[in-house]
Structure 1
């Protein structure tokens, strides 16, 4: 085998590994389902597949509950995220700081009712988005109702949350019961604060829905395994 043939084979191997690693990296495990009632599915381009207790949730994944359905997801940093009936969220972006915490994680709450209980990550790691609001979480419990043109955020425990419209009008929630209501109508965003929550997350929708548990195995895993950047041939492509 001459050197040109060797270089061609090595580069072909590297290209194949890179192509295989791309979709595999998208399967980084970021949490698991702790509670599942009735219809809870992951949504993919090819359709939907059911989620059962103990199943992984992965980066860039969309999770949806059906009518009379609910689920509680436990993230790798032991954040607990509950979804009520007819709710949809997307785990939009995740960057691990270490095996037990995130440096950066973004969650999109498309529609429905949610309860968010913070875990071990830095207070600035989580960025929660709805259709009309962005929500920062600082060590607390939040109930969030995302509807068409309206988001309601209720602070349920000690801690704080900064709630902003998409035009950067912001309110600080600092006491249990503090509530922000954001609406979008007639091309205009409005945000109002009160101390009387107009709504609360329905913990009775499923047994254990509002409990909190630690993530059993917080080490992020990737399925299937992907190339870690090492070169098993001892050669670099193109050299």
Structure 2
């Protein structure tokens, strides 16, 4: 028997596992509002349109005077203000409409985050200065160079610095302010927010509405993540 035939299945499996996009194209949500320049950041930036998929492991960026809202498969709503960059670090489906593990990195800009149907412990939100644990929540999040602001609008949240100084947000208006000065990171809690996402809501109609995923995309079901079992992950 030709030895090449014996090794063909293994070679095909290896090719699938090492293909750059093989594990990166799972649909995890949909764009429901796009204002001006909103791009998918890859080797070349591509404009996102309403109805386009939000994909696992991708980075999304809004331009100046731009905004976007995405509805994820578990009905989490993510709103982005101008000049914002967001990365979906990881999404592991529990079933077709909930996540076992979802990690969202809000690198820079202003955001509103509204939890969906997944267990609240599944959500892991980070900025360059903070990690945020949610408890059934609407959060306004501002990520700037040397400063992050987390404002609780509804629910509860735990906000911690990377060196595990934490504050608990339990009442609407509770705010965590994280600053980094000269390499020293500090966190404080106030009930008088220095900023909220409200101005972005007023500037863009529909930016702060909340959709269920079924309403946003009634005929499309996201692919269920295989946890990389084919490739041994």
Q: What TM-score do you get using the length of structure 1 for normalisation?
A: 0.87
The aligned counterpart of 1:169 is 165
What whole-Å deviation, never above 9, does each CA across 1:186-232 have from its counterpart, x for those lacking one?
Answer: 2111111111111110202311000000113573228xxxx985xxx
Question: Superposition pairs for residues 1-239 of structure 1, below 5 Å?
Answer: 2=1, 4-20=3-19, 23-44=21-42, 46-157=43-154, 159-201=155-197, 202-216=200-214, 217=217, 219-221=221-223, 229=230
The structure whose Rg is larger is 1
CA RMSD of aligned residues (A): 1.8
Change (3 A) 1:92 1:18: closer
**How far apart are the structure 2 equivalents of 1:131 and 1:7?**
49
- Deviation, 1:3, is 5.8
Q: What TM-score do you get using the length of structure 2 for normalisation?
A: 0.89
Tell me which stretches of 4 or more aligned residues in structure 1 moved more than 6 Å.
none
**How far apart are the structure 1 equivalents of 2:98 and 2:65?**
32
- Aligned residues of 1:77 and 1:102 also touching (Cα < 8 A): yes
- Deviation, 1:10, is 3.6
**How far apart are the structure 2 equivalents of 1:17 and 1:195?**
51
**How far apart are the structure 1 equivalents of 2:34 and 2:138?**
21
Unpaired segments of 5 or more residues in structure 1? Answer: 230-239
**How far apart are the structure 2 equivalents of 1:71 and 1:160?**
25
Unpaired segments of 5 or more residues in structure 2? Answer: none
Q: Which has the higher contact order (CA 8 A, sep 6+)?
A: 1
**How far apart are the structure 2 equivalents of 1:83 and 1:26?**
22
| Equivalent pairs, count | 221
